[in-house]
Structures are given as C-alpha cells and as structure tokens.
Amino acid sequence: MKKLVFFIALVFAAYSADAQHLGKKYVLDKVIEVKGRQGIAIDEDYYYVSSTTALYKYDKEGNLVAENTYPFQNPGLANHFGDIDIYKGEIFCGLEKFEYGRGFNIAISVYDAETLQWKRDLPWSPESGQVEVSGICIDRDKELVWMCDWVDGRYVYAYDLKTGRYHTKMQCRPMPYWTQGIFIADGKMLFAADDGEAMYGIPDNIYVADVSEVPYTGLVEGEEVVKETPFSVKLDEDGKPVMRQGKVAGGAKAGRLELLREMSDFRRAGEIEGLSIDPVNDDLVVLNNRGTRIVLGMSQGPIKEEGYDREVHELYVYRKVK
C-alpha cells in the first residue's frame, strides 16, 4: 500500500511540475513587489524577473536570491530586455537597443538560470519584418521560440529552437497594440497588451490565440518595398517606392485573438508587462508597473501628484479557478 501511495505521489509530482495549463477564470491571490519592470519566467522553484538592464531571481515568497545587473555582452549595442521565458534551465531574453518607440540590434540571448550569466545568442532575421522585440516565449511542444513586437503588433515571429532558423510569423487579428509579453500553454498564445490608458484609469488586457498549428514558411527569394520607418515607405527622387530584392518572409499564419481577461484588479492602471504560468500549480503571474508617466515606452518620472516618488513593479499572482 505504501509503495502504491509513493508511486501515485511521484506521478502527481511529475505532472504538477510540468503543468502550465491555461485556465478560463482566475482570481487574484497575492501581489509581490520586485525590482524588475519588464518580464517574468517561472520554473518549479523560482520567479525570474527581467528589468530593462538586469535579471533577478526570486523564490516564490518574493525573496531576492540572485541578480545580474550587468548582463549585456556589448552595452553599446544593447540597452533593453523585454519579457522572458525559461526552458530546460535556460532563460531566453529578447535583447535590443531601444530608443523612444524603436528597437535596433535585435537578438535572442540565452542566460543560465542558475547563475543568470550569458551563454549564447540565437540569430535574428531582419528579413522577417520585425522591428522591435518586447517579449519572448517558448512553445515547449513544438520547440519554437516566439518574439513579439511592441512597435508593430501585427505579427509575432517564430524561430526553430534547435537550429535557430526563422520559421514563420503569425498575423494577429484583430491586432493588439503595444504588446509587452507573450506565453504559450496548451497550444494557445497569451498576449499582454498595454492597450489601456493609465491617465484615465482604463485597464490593460490579456488576449489569447490558437497556435497549435504553425506551418513552416521560412525565408524565400523575392522583392519587397523598403521602409523608411516601420509605418512609411522609402521613396526615390521620382516619388516612387524603393524596392529591394533578396530574402523575404515566405508567408504567414493567420491568428484570431480573443479577450481572455481585463486587468481591472491592478492596484493602479499602469503599464502591463510580461506574463507566465507556473509549472507547479498553473498560477497565472503578470508583471505590472505603476506610478510613472510613460512616453513611447520610456518612463518620464514619477506621478508626484499621486504621491509616487518612484515606479513600482509588482507581480500579480492569480489562482486558476476554472
């Protein structure tokens, strides 16, 4: 009898340690203040939090156990982490140089979860059309790594985790604007969208889309218009669009987004960031910032008239009830 009980406990532990199942309804369980303002990843024992220029590691009671405040290999080329994810002991980070609404030098950087130190980079394909990286997540079933774009939220972009090769992109319909973080569970992608209005107390939202089928399209030889900015084309001296030949995105998947949750229970409407699901108990954990004015993704200082003297970063831990 004891052996049977022990066996059942082992099976339950194995299952619960690899849960990450999406719920339909959540209730707020607790709020934990953290140092980081960008993203959240979770394994069996720890919360990993990214800030703009740092990585932090917390136990699940909110105690800081490790940090890396100088994470960039070349600070001249990179100044910004977005949302993060963890897979097989490695933290996957979207890396870039970010300046007032535009990202440059995008990379997929991988850090060791134990030490928080850099290990390697995966290649990025600018031919995909991506112009910024605000978040990153792993599809554990298909072994794809996805990146979202805060500047132009029409698409999310997938790469093969083993080869680093560009896989495809998904068009988001309808398009969330100012996507800050993504996460995949049960073949569904969650989107944390900073689409509320903090000034008026209008909350941000989380959306969900089916990504269970993701055919490979890759890069192909072709022709496309050259963009002067993410939203305007470059014109020649005759006023005609400038075209380029070479590698272009070979296709895209269409994705249908639906509202999962309005985040009306944040302590103050602010700037929603990354999100993740706990592999032990399926808690939904969402990072939110409050207390500062944001212009094109960059803080302009505290809202002094409301009593803030700094920006507050908090993890909202939601228990799945359905």
- Structural domains for the chain: 39-217+252-278 (2.120.10.30)
306 by Cβ neighbours in 10 Å (0-12 / 13-18 / 19+) ranks as: exposed
User: pLDDT for 268-298, tens place per residue?
Assistant: 999 999 999 999 999 999 999 999 998 877 7
Q: Residue 82 pLDDT > 70, yes or no?
A: yes
Run of H or E including 28: strand 26-34
Q: Residue 11 pLDDT > 50, yes or no?
A: no
- The whole-number pLDDT of residue 299 equals 81
Instruction: Tell me the pLDDT of the chain averaged across its residues.
Output: 92
- The whole-number pLDDT of residue 228 equals 86
- Looking only at the bridges linking them, the beta strands covering 205-210 and 258-262 are antiparallel
Q: pLDDT confidence of 112, banded at 50, 70, 90?
A: very high
Structure tokens at 39: 């993203």
pTM (two decimals): 0.92
